[in-house]
């Protein structure tokens, strides 16, 4: 499962319905997956649980048969109700043990970590992967911690054996830096959401190919 999860994490599209509005979130995801996206998160910060469930069902239908997992940000209730593949939580969200109890043993649980201590505290009994960063400052999430840069990212990665994905301000130009830091994946929002051609935008990350040490 870990090897498989690392493969899924390689190019992780975190969707923002507002940023994707012009093309539409479902069409953005369809095209981005055609361009090589390997995992999708629904991050609808201003939606209700009912709206997230509806969006998740539409995304699930679009992803059917692709093998690309769908994870719901913040809202474990929506993830379970929509029978999504998992949920992603941060340090200010529901606690990982409670999230795991709701998700059951088989769904994916991701946890955001911005500091060495939170990485050390991430318990593999509950958590499947870590979202690490922000690597760079970003307008997509304004309430973020001090950016880590590539060196800080590498320091965080060294503290846990859990699979990980780097996030925050990442663009195709950063592929070599993220690879050198040892990350299993790159998670992006604005590099794909809101781009005129989401398929081409995803394809621009094709050279990100980490060698897994499983």
Per-residue mark of binding to ligand TZP, 129-148 (x: CB under 6 A): ----xx---x-xx--x----
Annotated binding residues: 41-45, 73-74, 93, 112, 138-141, 169, 189-190
Query: Is 98 annotated as catalytic?
Result: no
| Beta-carbon contacts of residue 49 (< 8 Å; ≥ 6 apart) | 75, 77, 78, 81
Out of Mg ion, ligand TZP, ligand LCLJCK34, none, which partner does residue 110 contact, by CB within 5 to 8 A per kind? ligand LCLJCK34
| Beta-carbon contacts of residue 55 (< 8 Å; ≥ 6 apart) | 17, 25, 42, 44, 47
| Beta-carbon contacts of residue 160 (< 8 Å; ≥ 6 apart) | 119, 120, 122, 130
Number of residues that bind ligand LCLJCK34 (CB under 6 A): 16
Tell which one of 47, 60, 90, 126 touches Mg ion (CB under 5 A): 90
CB 38 within 8 A of CB 68: yes
Query: Is 141 annotated as catalytic?
Result: yes
Number of residue whose CB is nearest ligand LCLJCK34: 90
Per CB under 5 A, does 93 bind Mg ion? yes
3-state secondary structure (DSSP) of residue 94 = coil
Per CB under 6 A, does 165 bind ligand LCLJCK34? yes
The Cα–Cα gap between 74 and 169 comes to: 20
What six digits make up the tokens of 137?
Answer: 């400052």
- In the complex, the residues that contact ligand LCLJCK34 under the rule CB under 6 A are 12, 14, 41, 43, 73-74, 88, 90, 93, 110, 112, 131, 141, 165, 167, 187
Catalytic residues: 43, 112, 141
């Amino acid at each position: 499962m870990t090897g498989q999860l690392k493969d899924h994490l390689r190019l992780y599209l975190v969707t923002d319905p507002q940023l994707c509005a012009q093309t539409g979130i479902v069409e953005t995801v369809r095209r981005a997956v055609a361009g090589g996206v390997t995992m999708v998160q629904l991050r609808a910060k201003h939606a209700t649980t009912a709206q997230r469930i509806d969006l998740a069902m539409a995304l699930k239908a679009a992803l059917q048969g692709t093998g690309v997992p769908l994870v719901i940000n913040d809202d474990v209730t929506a993830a379970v109700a929509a029978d999504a593949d998992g949920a992603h939580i941060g340090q200010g969200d529901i606690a990982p043990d409670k999230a795991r109890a709701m998700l059951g043993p088989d769904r994916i649980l991701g946890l955001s970590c911005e500091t060495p201590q939170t990485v050390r505290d991430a318990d593999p009994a509950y958590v499947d992967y870590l979202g690490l960063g922000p690597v760079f400052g970003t307008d997509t999430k304004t309430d973020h911690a001090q950016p880590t840069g590539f060196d800080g990212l590498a320091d965080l990665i060294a503290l846990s054996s859990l699979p990980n994905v780097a996030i925050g301000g990442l663009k195709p130009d950063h592929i070599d830096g993220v690879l050198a830091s040892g990350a299993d994946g790159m998670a992006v929002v604005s590099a794909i959401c809101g781009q005129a051609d989401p398929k081409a935008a995803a394809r621009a990350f094709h050279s990100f190919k980490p060698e897994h040490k499983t």
